[in-house]
Amino acid sequence: MALVKLNPVYPDPEIITRAAQLLRGGRLVAFPTETVYGLGANALDAAAVARIYAAKGRPKYNPLIVHVADVALVPTVAAGWNDAAERLSHAFWPGPLTLVLPKADAIPEGVTAGLPTVAVRVPGHLVANSLLAAAGIPVAAPSANRSTQLSPTTGEHVLRSLGDAVDLILDAGPTPIGIESTVVDVTTSTPTLLRPGSITLDELMRVVGRVDQTTHAAGESARPAPGMLEKHYAPRAKVFLVAPQDVGVRVEHERANGLRVGALVVHASVEPTPEIIIMPADPAAYAAALYASLHTLDDAGCDVIVVEKLPETNAWLAVRDRLTRAAH
């Protein structure tokens, strides 16, 4: 394994070429996207894709997202396209949106966990896009963390979670968006939001009109909806979601139990310590800081993380989703 540092806006072409060669050779390369770091492998190579599952300890029923350099390459991985796909890709690609489309035959079953559909996105990060262009292949890439752990927003997070399981880590610093892409299934008669992300429900509806929301899948069959492992995006510490007015009391209570207590607060007033993190009051800024903050509190050895509950509005949907899973 090797971690190499790259300039996020002027990535060294020699390093990109080397990483692209590794991908073409069936190896695993972790790379930054605008959302989180991905663990990439050649999406057309079943053996390479199997290595992703092994490295992550990922259950076989959890399908992967395929990344392509440009919308023009979607027909190499997907067998269908429609008006909703056209509008959404036009509005949000390159960017943090994943579309679920009918799968092309060239995509091995391992990528889609046997589903007839494939999740596709064109990322909006110079390193990711340079790598995809240089590799000239579609790249399957889940978040570059061990299964059920926190997603990585820095190269260091990838190194600590996956270590030697990765052939190369491209480290271009913190990812700007900080939570995973919005996933929308466009094979349903009304587009269906499968995973909330930084592109909000309201933004989607402005482009395609109605958008349905999924309910959680159960059981171990291939999951039509993402992140459906009940415990997902979780730090090591136990996470409690607490109403703003109760945060202070809860923190004191846990401290009185002799526990090392961290907190993510926006408005709540708490006796400050280095482990009390004041989070931004803006949903996008909060999302950008979320995983990095949880990683920090884990690293500080917190037993418990008290998180101030956030408003029940659509703007906070993606952040609430990740926090609910972390608290499961």
- What residues make contact with ligand TXA under the rule CB under 6 A? 33, 35-36, 38, 62-65, 98, 100, 112, 115, 117-119, 141-143, 180-181, 183, 194, 223-227
CB 200 within 8 Å of CB 318: yes
Nearer to ligand TXA, 227 or 262 (CB): 227
Supply the minimum distance, in Å, between the C-beta of residue 117 and ligand TXA.
4
Of 124-132, 142-150, 160-168, 279-287: span binding Mg ion (CB under 5 A): 142-150
Yes or no: say if 197 and 318 are a contact pair by the CB < 8 Å rule.
Answer: yes
Distance between CA 28 and CA 32 in Å, rounded? 13
| CA dist list (Å): 31 to 131, 172, 244 | 8, 8, 37
Residue 234 contact among Mg ion, ligand TXA, none, beta carbon within 5 to 8 Å by kind = none
Q: Which does 63 bind (CB under 5 to 8 A by kind): ligand TXA, Mg ion, none?
A: ligand TXA
Contact 307, 327 (CB under 8 A): yes
Q: Does 182 bind Mg ion (CB under 5 A)?
A: no
CB 302 within 8 A of CB 237: yes
> Which residue, 11 or 152, is less far from Mg ion as judged by CB?
152
Nearer to ligand TXA (CB atom), residue 250 or residue 322: 322
Q: How far is the CB of 136 from ligand TXA (least distance, A)?
A: 19
154 binds Mg ion (CB under 5 A): no
Give min distance, CB of 173 to ligand TXA, in A: 16
Q: Is 143 in the site for Mg ion (CB under 5 A)?
A: yes
Instruction: Evaluate whether 285 touches 318 at the Cβ level (below 8 Å).
Output: no
Residues that bind Mg ion (CB under 5 A): 143
